[in-house]
Amino acid sequence: MGVAAFSIVNQMTKEHTKISKFLSFVLRHNPQSIGIELDENGWADIAALIDRTQKFALSQELIAEVVRTNDKQRFALSKDGLKIRASQGHSIKIDLEYKAVTPPDILYHGTASRFLASIMKQGLTRQNRQHVHLSADIDTAQKVGSRHGTPVILTIAARELHQFGQAFYLSDNKVWLTEKVSVRALSREG
Does residue 81 share a domain with residue 14?
Answer: yes
Ordered DSSP codes for 66-84: HHHH-TT--EEE-TTSSEE
CATH code: domain of residue 30: 1.10.10.970
Does residue 81 share a domain with residue 8?
Answer: yes
Percent of the chain with pLDDT strictly greater than 70: 93
Within-domain flag for 45: yes
Within-domain flag for 91: no
Residues spanned by the domain of 77: 3-86
Whether pTM > 0.85 for this model: the answer is no
Does residue 68 share a domain with residue 9?
Answer: yes
Task: Tell me: pLDDT of 1 over 90.
Answer: no
Task: Tell me: pLDDT of 11 over 60.
Answer: no
Which amino acid, 25?
F
Banded pLDDT at 190 (limits 50, 70, 90)? low
pLDDT of residue 167: 96
Q: What stretch of H or E contains 13?
A: helix 3-24
Number of structural domains the chain divides into: 2
Furthest C-alpha separation in the chain: 58
Banded pLDDT at 89 (limits 50, 70, 90)? confident
Kindly report, residue by residue over 119-152, the tens digit of the pLDDT. Answer: 999 999 988 888 999 999 999 999 989 988 899 9
Question: Counting beta carbons within 10 angstroms of the beta carbon of residue 167, is it exposed (0 to 12), middle (13 to 18) or buried (19 or more)?
Answer: middle
Does residue 110 share a domain with residue 82?
Answer: no
Within-domain flag for 174: yes
pLDDT of residue 163: 96
Does residue 81 share a domain with residue 137?
Answer: no
CATH code: domain of residue 148: 3.20.170.30
Within-domain flag for 47: yes
Does residue 9 share a domain with residue 71?
Answer: yes
Does residue 180 share a domain with residue 137?
Answer: yes
Banded pLDDT at 12 (limits 50, 70, 90)? low
Does residue 173 share a domain with residue 128?
Answer: yes
